[in-house]
Amino acid sequence: MEEDFEFDFSEDPRFSVERYEEMIRNQDQYFFDASAFENIIDYYVEKNDPIKALQVAEYALNQHPFAAVFPIKQAQLYVATNQLDTAFESLSKAETLEPSNADIYTIRGNIFEGMERHQEALENYEKALANAEATDEILLHISYVYQSLGDYESSVTYLKLCLQQNMENQDALYELAFCYDVMDKQEESISFYEQYIDNEPYSYAAWYNLGNAFNKMEMFEKAIDAYDYAILIKDNFASAYFNKGNALVHLDRFEDAIQVYKQTFEYEPPNGETYCAIGECYEKLEHMDEARSFYKKAVKIDPKQSDAWYGIGVTLDFEERYFESLHFYRKALDIDDKNADYWFAIADAQYKLKQLDESEKAYEMVVELNPIDVEAWLDYSSILFEQDKLAQAIETISDAIKNNPDAAELYYRMVAYLFADGQYNEALTYLETALNADAEKHYILFEYLPQLHDNKIIVDIINRYTTKNS
C-alpha cells in the first residue's frame, strides 16, 4: 500500500529535485509544497528538458489543484514545445483560478503576438498592465506589436513609458534607436538620448545609441566622443569600437580606424566584417598588400563576404592586374548579383582588357541597377562613342539625362556627341542648357573633345556665360 510523505524542500532546490527523482524511481507518492514543485520545474527548464518539466507540472496540479502558478507554468512549457492550443487551455484554467494574475495575459499576449493576431495581443497586454506590478517588459512587448503594425510613433510612446518604469531596460533603449531610425528622426533621437544621459550618465547603451544617431547625421566627431564614453563605461564593448572605427573612416582617419577596429579582437573573436573594414582602410591608404591580406582573412572566415572578394579585385586592379581582378569581382557578383558597384568594376576591368562588348553589357547592368550613377552613364556612352556607335551614344546620354536632369556633366557630353554627329543646332541648344546648369564645368567639354577649342561659336557662347557669372 502506497504511503503519502510530506516534504518541505523549498529552502534547497537541489534536494527537492533529488527527492522528486527518487519518488519517480520508487513509484511512490510524496507530497511537495507548491514552492518546491516550482523549483523542480525551473530546474528542468534550465536543463532544457520541457517534457520532464511538464510531467512535474502535472504532478503539481494534482497535489495543488487551486494553485494558478502550475497551469501558468504548463502554458509556458506548451508554448516552448509549440503546443499552442493546449497552452490556451492551460491559460483559461489559470484565469478561472486567479483572474488577476498578470502572467496569464502576458503569455497569452505573447502567443497572439507570435501568431500576428495583433489586436488580440494588445488586448491581453493591456489586461496584463492593469494587474502587473513591474510593467516595463509588458510595455516593451506592446511596442513590438505596434512596430509589427508599422505604427512606429505608438511604439516610441510605449518604449518611453517602458524606460520610465525601468531606466536600465537595454532592449527598450535599442528599440527606440531603431524606431527613430526607421522614421528618419535622428534629431529627435539625439534629443532623447541626451536627456536620458542627463539622468543616467553611466548608461553605455545610451551613449552608444547617441553615437549611432550622430553617425547617421554625419556628425562624426560627436559620434566618436559618444562612443568613447560608451567604451569608458564598458571597456569590452566591441560594437562601440567597431562603430567608432566607421566614424573615423568617414573622417578619412584610416590609420586611427585600423587601430580601433583591431581593438574589437580583444573582446570578441575576429569576424569577416571587421577584417573587411580593416582591408578597406589599408586600400584607402594605398597599402595594397596589407589590404589584400585582410580581405583574404575576411573571406577565409566568411566566404559569403562579397565586399571582401570585391576588395581583393580592387587591390589587383590598382596594380593593373586587370585579368586577375575580374576573377574576384565575379566571385563578389556570384554572391550579390544586384550590386551596381560590382558590375561597374567588371565593366571597367573589361574595358581596360579591350573586351568592349562585354564591358558594354556590364555597363548596361550598372545603369539599370543604379540609374543615378552619372559616372557609369558617361563611361558607358564613351565606349559606344569610341566604337563609332554615335546614335547609341546619343541615345544612352539621353536616357542618362532623363534619370539625372540636374547633372551638367551629361549635357556637356551630349554637346560633344552631337557635334561629332554633325547635329550642330541641337548641340548648341544642349550647350546653353549645360551652361545654365553649371557654367563652371564647361572645361569638361574641351577635355572630352579638345578640338572644340577651335570652334568660335562654342567658345563665344561659353565666354558669354562665364563672363556673366564672374
Count CA within 13 A, CB hemisphere, residue 274: 23
pLDDT (0 to 100) of residue 397: 97
Is residue 396's pLDDT more than 90? yes
Distance CA(271)–CA(281), nearest Å, equals: 16
Is residue 3's pLDDT more than 80? no
Any idea which of 30-34, 72-76, 79-83 has the lowest mean pLDDT? 30-34
Is residue 395's pLDDT more than 80? yes
- Mean pLDDT value across residues 21-34: 71
Is residue 58's pLDDT more than 60? yes
Is residue 96's pLDDT more than 80? yes
- Mean pLDDT value across residues 47-62: 79
Q: How do residues 227-275 score in pLDDT, each as one tens digit?
A: 999 999 999 999 999 999 999 999 999 999 999 999 999 999 999 999 9
C-alpha cell at 140: 516593451
Distance CA(398)–CA(142), nearest Å, equals: 52
Q: How do residues 218-240 score in pLDDT, each as one tens digit?
A: 999 999 999 999 999 999 999 99
Q: How do residues 142-193 score in pLDDT, each as one tens digit?
A: 999 999 999 999 999 999 999 999 988 999 999 999 999 999 999 999 999 9
Name the phi and psi angles at 457, rounded to 5: -60, -50
Cα-based torsion angle of the residue sequence 130, 136, 139, 145 in order, rounded to the nearest 10 degrees: -130
Distance CA(410)–CA(6), nearest Å, equals: 90
* Per-chain mean pLDDT for the chain: 90
Q: How do residues 289-327 score in pLDDT, each as one tens digit?
A: 999 999 999 999 999 999 999 999 999 999 999 999 999
pLDDT (0 to 100) of residue 273: 96
Long-range contacts from 203-206, C-beta under 8 angstroms, 24+ separation: 203/167, 203/168, 203/173, 203/233, 204/229, 204/230, 204/231, 204/233, 204/234, 204/237, 204/240, 205/170, 205/173, 205/174, 205/230, 206/173
| Spatial contact of 330 and 346, defined as CB atoms under 8 Å apart | yes
pLDDT (0 to 100) of residue 21: 67
Distance CA(121)–CA(132), nearest Å, equals: 16
pLDDT (0 to 100) of residue 13: 65
Distance CA(161)–CA(142), nearest Å, equals: 11
